[in-house]
Amino acid sequence: MAASDDTPGPWLSIVGIGEDGLDGLSAAARRLLAGADLVAGGFRHLALVASLDKPTFEWETPFAASIPKLLAHRGKRVVALCSGDPFWYGAGSVLAEAIPAAEIAVVPAPSSFAWAAARLRWRLEETIALGLHARPLELLRPHLRTGARLIVLARDGAAPAQIAAYLNGVGFGPSRLTILEALGGPRERIRSAATTGFAWDDIKSPVAVAIEAVAEPSAIVIPRVAGLPDELFSHDGQLTKREIRAVSLSTLAPRGGELLWDVGAGSGAIGIEWLLAHPANRAIGIEAREDRLDTARANADSLGVPHLDLRLGAAPDALKGLPIPDAVFVGGGASREGVLDTVWQALPPGGRLVVNSVTLETEAMLICRQARHGGALLRLAVERAGPVGDLSGWRAAMPVVQWSVTK
């Protein structure tokens, strides 16, 4: 889109650069660097173009602190150097959030994922690509299954050993690792090793770790369906049981990039499965008891969604100031005064609400709400076989009444 007369044209050029430095740049990238008044980048990036003898600006830590200083050079011809593809786990996306698109030109280079896939001869479209520079290793967990291939961009030379230890800890010790250092440049080095006993201490950045995942027979592989086994969650009894949880998640209907409020989070199971449904989903869990909040955090970590946003407090007060949800699940506290009113007011048109109840008092409230707002009422009763003396019989769980509605 062309800039209007009162909108500045591109003054910032985001240029991807690889370990081969100037030699690997396209003609367009070279022209931008040749005409630059200032070159910004990390220490390693600036060293790759030092022969140009240009004024430089080194990124600060945290990276966001660099943005105001970069903006101070608006109007100059500035080139910001980023590793490989600036918009695949790169700094380009952070810059683009702060600077209008009309003021930016972009020249990408091959990503580290592309280099790694080429060296390994892996089909990149069938490979899981993760950037874990500043993100927790637990994000690996949902992707681990025998036969899975992952390429992980690691923070530093110590990270591969940490990844190996994590894989061993969750039952994926038989996996094989390939360590790919400084891909595409003169320092490139590629080595493979077993996960068990991995202890290399001479790995240099930038580094990618390729994982060929193999599960031990006793390893737990997280299913990609709603209604995970109850045994995967630590809890004190405050757990939406598997069958009810499966129906509740199906009714909540998670879609990519949506935000869930989980009111009365308990063990965190609903929020955890919401996040497992799509990597771009977000969830905020509200729980009044600190011990349960700690349990929910541990569950989120163990099941690979450490980004579950858990907050201590009781609804409705704890709901004030939260970002607008796409869906709300109320698994506890629905009978508390003001909770359902607050939730209903917070939902935008098209937002989904699911409320579960096991008490007659709350059931009566849901019947009234359904008459007022519409939606569906569902009564769920589950019986499980159990011992009756030396024989077996059916044991009924408490029935659950569910009200679901789209605003």
Taking only the tens place, the pLDDT of each residue in 191-246 is 999 999 999 999 999 999 999 999 999 999 999 899 999 999 999 988 889 999 99
Residues 6+ apart with CB under 8 A from 38: 54, 55, 56, 57, 73, 76, 77, 78, 79
- CATH superfamily to which 12-110 belongs: Tetrapyrrole methylase, N-terminal domain (3.40.1010.10)
pTM exceeding the 0.75 threshold for the entire prediction = yes
Average pLDDT over every residue of 83-91: 94
Specify the 3-state DSSP secondary structure of 40. Answer: strand
Q: Whole-angstrom Cα distance, residue 313 to residue 289?
A: 8
- Verify cis geometry, omega within 30 degrees of 0, for the bond prior to 62: yes
Q: What is the pLDDT of residue 332?
A: 82
Structure tokens at 348: 């935008």
Structure tokens at 63: 């990276």
- For helices 242-252 and 269-277, angle between their N-to-C axes, nearest 10 degrees: 50
Domain ranges within the chain, ordered by starting residue: 12-110, 113-212, 230-406
Q: What is the pLDDT of residue 6?
A: 53
Residue type, 29: A
Domain 12-110 matches domain 230-406 at the CATH topology level: no
- According to CATH, the topology of domain 230-406 is Rossmann fold (3.40.50)
Structure tokens at 264: 């009365």
Taking only the tens place, the pLDDT of each residue in 349-397 is 999 999 999 999 999 999 999 999 999 999 999 999 999 999 999 999 9
The answer to whether 241 and 172 are in contact (CB under 8 A) is no
* pLDDT category of residue 333 using cuts at 50, 70 and 90: confident
- According to CATH, the topology of domain 113-212 is 3.30.950
